[in-house]
Amino acid sequence: MMSEQQPVRVVLADDHQVVRRGIRDFLIEGGIEVIAEAEDGEQALQLIIQHQPDVAVLDIQMPRRSGIEVARLVREENLPVGLLVLTAYDDDPFVLAALEAGVNGYVLKTADAEEIVRAVYAVYEGKSVLDPAVVSKVMQAIITPSSPQPYEPLTERELEVLAAAARGLTNKAIGISLGISDRTVQGHLRKIFEKLQVGNRTEAVVKAARLGLLDLPG
């Protein structure tokens, strides 16, 4: 996939060495460079800050800091790192807490190696990734009535950009479909995040759907 470009650089965090080794091996087979590995959340955070990888692959339940806490701190630091949770937990609280923390993807360890490799590339490309097994949980959270919160209305163009992002299109693909530049797409997304008070595409899509601004594909 990335044969003519620099490989995607990944920091991998999981507290089980055998699991970590297996994940590392099939990421490498998929053309991904694992530049550092962490056995706990604190080490993961420090390695992410030090190496600034393209993507961090995080387990949830780890000593010292959870993957969710690591994700939240990475977002607070505004680091340009894609965050992919790879976990055995499909419980609602974990899924929703991870999305609220700002992760770009949530994949279960029951996924096969090829699916996990594809998820890393998708997060690297700026897409949002949800394991099919947790999509229904997110959808349920979306359709559950919540107290309306004030927000600055989105423009027609911003709604078009957000709808395209919800379909998983990259910035480049959104720009082509709408006849605007990548930079303009990025500007619209920044404004959308600011108006909806969120930190990434996944949060924006979920919040917009909850507010009735966006219909997600079934």
Containing structural domain, residue 105: 9-138
Is the model's pLDDT at 137 over the cut of 70? no
In this prediction, residues 110-135 reach a mean pLDDT of 89
- Coil, helix or strand at residue 138: helix
Kindly state whether residue 206 falls inside one of the protein's structural domains. yes
The string of pLDDT tens digits covering residues 32-60 is 999 999 999 999 999 999 999 999 999 98
Choose one of 138, 171, 200: the last residue of a domain.
138
Give yes or no: residues 105 and 204 share one domain: no
The string of pLDDT tens digits covering residues 148-184 is 555 678 888 998 999 888 877 888 889 999 999 989 9
Q: Please report the pLDDT score of residue 114 as a whole number.
A: 93
Residue 151 belongs to a domain with what CATH number?
1.10.10.10
By the 8 A CB rule, do 99 and 128 touch? no
Domains in the chain, number: 2
Kindly state whether residue 218 falls inside one of the protein's structural domains. no
Give yes or no: residues 85 and 125 share one domain: yes
Pair of tokens at residue 171:
């910035």
In this prediction, residues 89-99 reach a mean pLDDT of 79
Choose one of 86, 111, 138: the last residue of a domain.
138
Q: Please report the pLDDT score of residue 152 as a whole number.
A: 75
Choose one of 116, 138, 160: the last residue of a domain.
138
Sequence-separated (6 or more) residues with CB below 8 Å from residue 103 = 58, 68, 71, 83, 84, 85, 200, 202
Residue 106 belongs to a domain with what CATH number?
3.40.50.2300
